[in-house]
Chain A
Amino acid sequence: MSNPKQILLVDDDYDFLESLQLLLMDDGHEVIPVSNGKDAVEKYIEFEPDLVLLDIRMPGIDGYETFLHVIKHDPNARVIFTSAYAIGNKQYQNAKDLSLSGILSKPIEFAKLRQMITIHAR
């Protein structure tokens, strides 16, 4: 089990969101689940969690834009993209330049996720 962290989990796929929430909670973390970018920004401002797991493709404000809002509020925010497919190289590079912690491809291997939490969560 990792050190318990507070994780903001953002994904518009409800089943994926809930299953990953349960898995992270089973691993001892506190999870704040939200299903869109707007709520994610609000929750981040409210809780300032240790780590954000952020889906890229979402209706409304997408993951990339959400990331920009979060970073604007907290330049030290720890954000990892979770993606069913990759974003464009340019956007990814921009996000990397703006302190994006990393990217995880769905389906996410839990061992890899654990490793990323250990490395990047505050």
Chain B
Amino acid sequence: MVKATHKIAVIVTAQIILIIASFLVMVYFESQAYHTGNIVNVAGKNRVLAILVHSELIDEILDYGQIHDGGKTMLALDDLRNNILFLRDGGAMSGIESTSLPQQFHGEWSIIWDKFSQYESMVVGLISDGKIPSDDINHTVVLSEIDIDGIKHTGGELVTLSDILTDKLGRDVDVHFSILILIQVILGIINVTVHIFMIILIWKIFNRHAEQKIRMEKFAMMGEFAATMAHNMKNPLGTILNSITLIRHRTSKDNNYDETIGIASKKIERAIKQMSHQIDGVMNYVRDVPFVGTISSVHDILRRSIDMVSVPSNIHIVIPENDAHITCDPDKMEIVFANLLQNAIHAIGNSKGHIIIRLTKNSDNDTSIILVFENSGLAIPEKNTQAIFEPLFTTKMSGTGLGLASCKNIMNQHGGSITVSNNPVRFVLHIPCGIAGVKNERNRRHEGV
């Protein structure tokens, strides 16, 4: 299981990433909106510059219809031209930074440019016609009112076209800002939702952690209780077993043979074995029992496990014909097998059923075996397939909730694993062969040579 601290670290990292991503998205869109806003300013400036050209031109026309110099008008005209080009190409000008004009406005811009070109040629023409040559201060030309009115009219059209583009760009900026606000709202909602979700998740993790702590405390108490119980019960059981063994020995001698006592004493011995097994079941989980590894036959352990549980007549057990030798603690492995058999018997209940045990070598390597316990009993609810291996989890009225947890512990001690699947119910044990596997491998190699 992933540790709570790891989960929290992942959650906090995800939050940080989300915050940074939100920030970058906002920066990008705000920057877009800012530059679009600058384009509006540049477009708006066209109006001012066009009016300035006209104003300079009017100023330069002398009372008698001559143009004194035309220089200021030409400068204003240059400014207007530069501004129109700046509007299209973007860049930096007079301390203002702007992006290039979006493609969708290039049509309008071209119309403005054409109008400007027309306006420019009219203005330049007028200046050329009305300018007083520097070497002839007596030169007299009277500009016609029609020419001036024509320039005024064209300039007005240029201003109007420029205003139309400014309006359109302004509306585009409005759209940008609307999108920006919408994104801010959406990101805000996502952030709040994610934070709430994470708070709930963290709360659940801590809650689960607290539940686990309570369970472990309960478990520790149970360990103490089990140790005391084992000592207090196993000593009297030992006394009973010693005494009944003594009685059986005494009554089995030729001159003192008593068949009834023989039968009765065997029953007592079996009952003691069962009680002892029950105690061991708890003890196996709650106490560290020394691991005693020996090379053992899986077949032999299986047979002893079957002897250990009482198999009702409605259940047929099929054991594998093949065998394997593994290095294991046979007593502990017997506990695993017996637990799986006992659970299968319980799952089948009173109906007719079977338990099939299959033994195969792991196809990936020769150093482990796979033992499958399949039964015809009821399926395990999917939500419980992991929980059944947790200590103190049980769905049985009389279960200790330690059987499968013990199995998992014992399998872990052997470096193996236990898993479960449904349809049909199968408990799969992966058991390393250990030294036995190595020995077999060596033997086979030796035989091969």
Q: A residues near B, CB below 8 A?
A: 13, 15-16, 19-20, 22-23, 26-27, 57, 84-89, 92-93, 103, 105-110
Of the A-B pairs whose beta carbons lie under 8 Å apart in the complex, a sample of 18, sorted by A's number, is: A13-B239, A15-B235, A19-B243, A23-B246, A26-B249, A26-B250, A57-B231, A84-B235, A85-B230, A86-B283, A86-B287, A86-B290, A92-B290, A105-B234, A107-B238, A107-B240, A107-B241, A108-B242
Residue among A22, A88, A103, A106 with most chain B CB within 10 A: A106
Q: Which are the 10 A-B pairs with shortest beta-carbon distances?
A: A19-B242, A84-B234, A107-B241, A107-B238, A106-B238, A92-B290, A13-B235, A15-B239, A84-B231, A86-B289
Q: Are B249 and A106 in contact (CB under 8 A)?
A: no
CA–CA, A93 to B227, complex, Å?
A: 20
Contacts of B240 in A (CB 8 A): 107
How far is the CB of B169 from the nearest CB of chain A, in Å? 81
CA–CA, A27 to B252, complex, Å?
A: 13
Residue of A whose beta carbon sits closest to that of B241:
A107
CA–CA, A109 to B241, complex, Å?
A: 8
CA–CA, A22 to B241, complex, Å?
A: 12
Contact A85/B283 with A23-B242, A93-B290 known, Cβ cut-off 8 Å: yes
8 Å CB contact of B290 from A16, A19, A22, A89: A89
B276 CB-CB contact with A under 8 Å? yes
8 Å CB contact of A20 from B230, B236, B242, B283: B242
B122 CB-CB contact with A under 8 Å? no
Total interface residues on B, CB under 8 Å, equals 27
How far is the CB of A63 from the nearest CB of chain B, in Å? 12
CA–CA, A106 to B233, complex, Å?
A: 10
How far is the CB of A11 from the nearest CB of chain B, in Å? 8
Q: Are A106 and B287 in contact (CB under 8 A)?
A: no
Contacts of B230 in A (CB 8 A): 84-85
Contact A108/B238 with A84-B231, A86-B287, A88-B288 known, Cβ cut-off 8 Å: yes
CA–CA, A26 to B243, complex, Å?
A: 11
Q: Are A16 and B291 in contact (CB under 8 A)?
A: no
Residue of B whose beta carbon sits closest to that of A86:
B289
Residue of B whose beta carbon sits closest to that of A13:
B235
Main secondary structure of the interface of B (DSSP, over half): helix
Contacts of B272 in A (CB 8 A): 107
Contacts of A15 in B (CB 8 A): 235-236, 239
Contacts of B249 in A (CB 8 A): 23, 26-27
Q: Are A107 and B246 in contact (CB under 8 A)?
A: no
Residue among B231, B234, B235, B280 with most chain A CB within 10 A: B235
B100 CB-CB contact with A under 8 Å? no
Q: Are B237 and A106 in contact (CB under 8 A)?
A: yes
Contacts of B417 in A (CB 8 A): none
Interface set, chain B 222-268, CB cutoff 8 A to A: 227, 230-231, 233-243, 245-246, 249-250
How far is the CB of B265 from the nearest CB of chain A, in Å? 12
Contact A106/B234 with A86-B287, A86-B288, A86-B290 known, Cβ cut-off 8 Å: yes
Residue of B whose beta carbon sits closest to that of A18:
B239
Q: Are A16 and B227 in contact (CB under 8 A)?
A: no
How far is the CB of B365 from the nearest CB of chain A, in Å? 28
CA–CA, A16 to B246, complex, Å?
A: 13
Q: Are A16 and B245 in contact (CB under 8 A)?
A: no
Q: Are B241 and A85 in contact (CB under 8 A)?
A: no
Q: Are B245 and A110 in contact (CB under 8 A)?
A: yes
Q: Are B236 and A103 in contact (CB under 8 A)?
A: no
Contacts of A26 in B (CB 8 A): 246, 249-250
Q: Are A22 and B242 in contact (CB under 8 A)?
A: yes
Contact A16/B283 with A23-B245, A89-B290 known, Cβ cut-off 8 Å: no
Contacts of B289 in A (CB 8 A): 86
Contacts of B242 in A (CB 8 A): 16, 19-20, 22-23, 107-108, 110
Q: Are B238 and A22 in contact (CB under 8 A)?
A: no
Q: Are A108 and B241 in contact (CB under 8 A)?
A: yes
CA–CA, A59 to B387, complex, Å?
A: 40
CA–CA, A86 to B291, complex, Å?
A: 11
Contacts of A22 in B (CB 8 A): 242-243, 246
Q: Are B276 and A107 in contact (CB under 8 A)?
A: yes
8 Å CB contact of B227 from A23, A85, A109: A85
CA–CA, A22 to B233, complex, Å?
A: 21
